[in-house]
């Protein structure tokens, strides 16, 4: 049985990916900052039994990341999907949620950078030996079209843009550095999705995004490593 690890698995896109891969016969390692508050995830575990494991993981906490690495020592992981992310104190649809010029909240910036850049980087470094033991050897980090510098024609969203452009750069460099190990690395844009983060006015529902992302992930080859991809299989400019 192949194994996938999904961070931020307690709701939204993370929970959707857990459902899709578990239904497809995968062993799923699902992480959440607060597993005891993850009712939907717990209910799914009760249905699927041993096919899903829940592990505590706070991507802001290096000790938490280290503890997960120790818990999973020598466990092969075929696919790692970094879903856990943070947009900011206010979602896009709220007043002030567009992070306009002149409204910089430096404390919030620090958390955005810590969750969206430092978190995925450290998780990848901590679990690379597990990935090397797997057969598929894929690392995916959910990014956003907002991280595209070439595609930025709207401005605003300063902190979130910086964080996603930053994690894009990380994934691009990892694709180069891990190529000889046969590890495939891509940033993946899930679309603008109607989740707690995306808000109610987003373009697509969770199911559409998740099914599309799974199709992209399952069909990745080493030739795709380092591409900036979208849930529908298209590609974004850096």
Structure token digits, residue 119:
């978190």
Q: Decide if 193 contacts 210 (C-beta within 8 A).
A: no
CA 195 vs. chain centroid, Å, equals 14
What SS3 string covers 39-51?
HHHHHHHHHHHHH
Q: Which of 116, 85, 62, 60 is nearest to 10 (CA)?
A: 85
Alpha-carbon gap, residue 65 to 226, rounded angstroms: 24
pLDDT value at position 37? 85
What is the radius of gyration, based on Cα positions, of the chain?
A: 17
Tell me the C-alpha distance between 170 and 193, whole Å. 24
Which residues lie across from 53 on neighbouring strands? 29
Q: Express each pLDDT in 82-93 by its tens digit.
A: 999 999 987 776
Look at residue 203 in the predicted model and tell me its pLDDT.
81
Residues 6+ apart with CB under 8 A from 157: 92, 98, 99, 146
Cβ proximity of 236 and 145 under 8 Å:
yes
- pTM (two decimals): 0.95
Place of tokens 């990745």: 220
> Is the Cβ–Cβ distance between 96 and 108 less than 8 Å?
no
Here the tokens at position 156 are: 């605003």
- 142 contacts 228 by C-beta, under 8 angstroms: no
Strand order in the sheet with 138-142: 52-56, 27-32, 3-6, 79-82, 138-142, 184-189, 229-230
Angle between helices 158-177 and 119-133 (to 10 degrees): 30
CB atoms within 10 A of CB 83: 27
- Helix (H, G, I), strand (E, B), or coil: what is residue 204? strand
Ranges of residues in the chain with a pLDDT under 70 are 93, 197-199
Scored b (16 or more CB within 10 A) or e, 38-52 reads: beebeebbeeeeebb
By DSSP bridging, strand 79-82 and strand 229-230 are: unpaired
Q: Which domains does the chain have, with CATH numbers?
A: 3-230 (3.40.50.720)
């Amino acid at each position: 049985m192949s194994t996938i690890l999904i961070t931020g698995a307690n709701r939204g896109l993370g929970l959707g990916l857990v459902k899709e891969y578990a239904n497809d016969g995968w062993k799923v390692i699902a992480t959440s900052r607060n597993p005891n508050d993850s009712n939907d995830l717990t209910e799914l575990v009760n249905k699927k039994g041993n096919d899903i494991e829940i592990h505590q993981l706070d991507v802001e906490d290096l000790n938490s990341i280290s503890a997960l690495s120790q818990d999973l020592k020598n466990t092969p992981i075929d696919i790692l999907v970094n879903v856990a992310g943070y947009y900011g104190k206010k979602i896009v649809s709220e007043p002030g949620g567009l992070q306009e010029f002149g409204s910089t909240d430096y404390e919030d910036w620090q958390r955005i950078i810590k969750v969206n850049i430092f978190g995925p980087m450290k998780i990848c470094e901590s679990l690379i030996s597990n990935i090397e033991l797997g057969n598929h050897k894929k690392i995916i980090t959910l990014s956003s079209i907002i991280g595209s510098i070439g595609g930025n024609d709207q401005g605003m969203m300063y902190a979130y843009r910086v964080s996603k452009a930053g994690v894009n750069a990380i994934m691009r460099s990892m694709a180069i550095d891990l190529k000889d190990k046969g590890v495939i690395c891509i940033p993946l844009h899930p679309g603008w999705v109607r989740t707690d983060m995306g808000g109610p006015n987003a373009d697509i529902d969770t199911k559409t995004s998740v099914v599309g992302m799974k199709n992209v992930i399952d069909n990745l080859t080493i030739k795709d490593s380092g591409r900036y991809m979208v849930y529908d299989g298209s590609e974004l400019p850096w």
